[in-house]
Amino acid sequence: MRDWQGVTKILGPVLGWDRVLRGAAVEPYAADRWGRSALPPVVFVPQSQDHVSMIARTLYEAGLPFVARGRGTGMSGGALPMGRAAVISFEKMDRIIEVRPDAFEMTVEPGALLSSVQAAAARAGLMYPPDPASADECSIGGNVAENAGGLSCVKYGVTGEYVLALDVVLPDGRCCSLGSHARKDVAGLDLKRLVIGSEGMLALVTQIVLRLVPRPAAEATICCWFAEADQAVAALQGMMQAGVVPARAELIARECLRILAEDGVAVHPGAGALLLLGLDGTVSGVRDEQARAEEILRRQALALEAASGEQAEVLWKIRSALSPALKKLAPMKINEDIAVPLDRQAECIRFTENLAARTGLMIAVFGHAGDGNLHVNFMIRPEQRKEAEQAVELLFAEVVRLGGTITGEHGIGVAKAPWAGLRLDPVTLALCRAVKSAFDPKGLCNPGKALYGPVEGEISRLV
């Protein structure tokens, strides 16, 4: 049996035929936010781990490829069904199974929205810190697959630091548990950490135990304008070296400020960078940190103002909406999420500005200055795509030279596969592929991504 009709005849009665999508019904599952698409032959919508296990086992025995999908908010094509792969959509496995406040943990299914996870933690008086800008749309399973970050990484870290345990289905249908409810667990190899950030290439996650933290009693926002980005970076470094570690530290560079000004946002005259800081903690602690931060920031800032309540909320909404707003400027937007050492950010931003001047491309930079994760956006017309890809390669080469990486949170997926070899040397790639083979000997789970060779008719430029 090696045909889609055969596997659907097996799985339809088990899942329910309304959970087996064919024809026009599969079109919404063909793409993510990256923009390219690959139409799957069939979409399966499981409601339990048993369903997932049977789907995987049936497809694996048939030699048919498949890919897990959360909510399709990825930015690198990681969930695209390359090579005519079936989609296994986790949209109906979205329960908040249990919140245990005394244990500071929560158990959820992978299809739960991140905003639902955050709200459930808040109702228990706790907090789940990772906060990608797409919280109202993205799923926690997708966050685990990409090891997603967000605005609060500078103080709280990324998704993987909050995953205690995973229940997974291996590509051949076998089930296993990785990690435990214990905060310390060194029994065996840390396979959980291999699955986190593996972009769905190793296993299908069916249940997640998340670590929660106490909810801060107070928050404060500081809006700080600088003439140049390097002044903003230096001021932030000085502040952190003085012991003030913000929960959020967002940098918006010159071109983005110009675009915001054209969109009616009030921008300080002469500003070449905006540093938007969020502090949190105890009431007295935040008050003290804010005073120390402002003292340091004023030494180089053009202007500084504290914001609270509705005004602060507006500022953070402007930051979260910046990436979608840039899409209005050109028919196409290439969004790269490079990351560099904290002390090389200003150098990297200067490189992007020089790159824009040399190529004539519109390039706008903003990002998470507290952890060095910068979003470099190329707004282009279709006829500029080749030139933009050449510019992206120059950017990636410079980032690696600076000691950084070609992706801080979006993953390699399909979008960055042509340049994976810039970041991963041949020995490292071989080790990654060996791990992939141990989990998935037939290579059927999420084909067409960076650890594979080319998939016929889909992508030609892979490492």
Fold (topology level) of 96-214: 3.30.465
Q: In the chain, what are the domain boundaries?
A: 4-89, 96-214, 218-320, 330-420
Both tokens assigned to 269:
């005259």
Structure confidence by residue, pLDDT tens digits, 68-90: 999 999 999 999 999 899 999 99
Mean pLDDT over 239-248 rounds to 96
Closest to 373 in 3D by CA, of 401, 397, 349: 349
Q: Do 127 and 156 meet the contact criterion of CB atoms below 8 Å apart? A: no
β-strand pairing of 43-44 with 20-21: antiparallel
Q: How confident is the model at residue 461 (pLDDT cuts 50, 70, 90)?
A: very low
CATH entry, 218-320, from 3.90.480.20, 3.30.43.10, 3.30.70.2190, 3.40.640.10:
3.30.70.2190
Mean pLDDT of the region 319-344: 87
Q: In this structure, what token pair is assigned to residue 376?
A: 């470099």
Q: Is pLDDT of 253 > 70?
A: yes
Residue 319, pLDDT score: 83
What pLDDT digit, counting tens, does each position of 348-362 carry?
A: 999 999 999 999 999
Top-confidence residue, 175 or 459: 175
For residues 112 and 143, give the distance between their C-alpha atoms in angstroms, rounded to a whole number. 11
What's the CATH architecture for 4-89? 2-Layer Sandwich (3.30)
Q: How confident is the model at residue 259 (pLDDT cuts 50, 70, 90)?
A: confident
Q: Is there a common fold for 96-214 and 218-320?
A: no
pLDDT of residue 23: 95
Give the ranges where 81-206 is alpha helix by DSSP (H). 114-123, 140-146, 153-156, 191-195
Distance CA 88, CA 47 (A): 11
pTM of the model: 0.93
Model pLDDT for residues 196-238, shown as the tens digit of each residue: 999 999 999 999 999 999 999 999 999 999 999 999 999 999 9
Architecture of domain 330-420: 2-Layer Sandwich (3.30)
